[in-house]
Amino acid sequence: MKVLAFCGSPRKAGNTRTLLDEVARGVADAGGKCEILDIAAMNIAPCRACKGCFGTGRCTQNEDMDGLYDKIAAADAFVFGTPVYFWGPSAQMKAFVDRWYSIVHGPDFRLLKGKKAAVVTPYADDEPSTAQHTVGMFETAFKYLGLEFAGALGVTAGKEGEVRNDARAMEQAFALGQSLARG
């Protein structure tokens, strides 16, 4: 089972990355492989709505997204990791998700059908509803993309990497990875 995880936080050792690393450990523990892509560090521009991808499935903007389409097509499951920024995903994550529009309009769209996708989202508030719009956006977008929602892990954590002190959250991240790897 090949799991592809996307990290939408600019903090290299942040809570999103820490949780995704734990998801990856869970995937490996269950016999799968997990690659984490640091999409926040990549050059991924917003969609320009030019419709240049219609039919081809490839964006006309030639930057780092070019190299990701084949990885996405080859993956068996996905994890979208993003901090909550103003009750939504980070701008880096949103730009990345918008670029899946190309996939919808190309031949690889059918390859997404039925693949599992999960969300990992830390936030500073201690109020779980803080993540509701972020999780809701992904859940609805997954439906549109033909992906199967495999759960969301929302965790309170503010300072960079402090989630590693939250044993329960780390266990949940590990278990999420295991369950994705088991299909």
Ligand X SMILES: Cc1cc2nc3c(=O)[nH]c(=O)nc-3n(C[C@H](O)[C@H](O)[C@H](O)COP(=O)(O)O)c2cc1C
Give the DSSP letter string of 29-91. HTT-EEEEE-GGGS--PPP----TTTTT---SS-SGGGGTHHHHHH-SEEEEE---BTTB--H
Contact between 157 and ligand X (CB under 6 A)? Answer: yes
Tokens of 75: 């993956």
When binding is defined by CB under 6 A, the residue of 125, 128, 143, 171 that contacts ligand X is: 125
When binding is defined by CB under 6 A, the residue of 64, 73, 109, 130 that contacts ligand X is: 130
For residue 2, the cross-strand partners are: 33
When binding is defined by CB under 6 A, the residue of 15, 102, 178, 179 that contacts ligand X is: 15
**C-beta closer to ligand X: residue 36 or 124:** 124
Instruction: Report the residue closest to ligand X, judged by CB.
Output: 14
x-or-dash pattern for ligand X, window 61-100, by CB under 6 A?
----------------------xxxxx-------------
Q: Closest distance between ligand X and the C-beta of residue 111, in Å?
A: 29
CA–CA dist 128, 140 (Å, integer): 19
**C-beta closer to ligand X: residue 65 or 169:** 169
When binding is defined by CB under 6 A, the residue of 69, 96, 123, 142 that contacts ligand X is: 123
Tokens of 33: 């492989």
Locus of tokens 């068996």: 76
When binding is defined by CB under 6 A, the residue of 4, 16, 80, 112 that contacts ligand X is: 16
Residue 25 CB partners (closer than 8 Å, separation 6+): 174, 177
Measured in whole angstroms, how far is the alpha carbon of residue 29 from the centre of its chain? 20
Q: Which residues bind ligand X (CB under 6 A)?
A: 9, 11, 14-16, 83-87, 122-125, 130, 157-158, 160
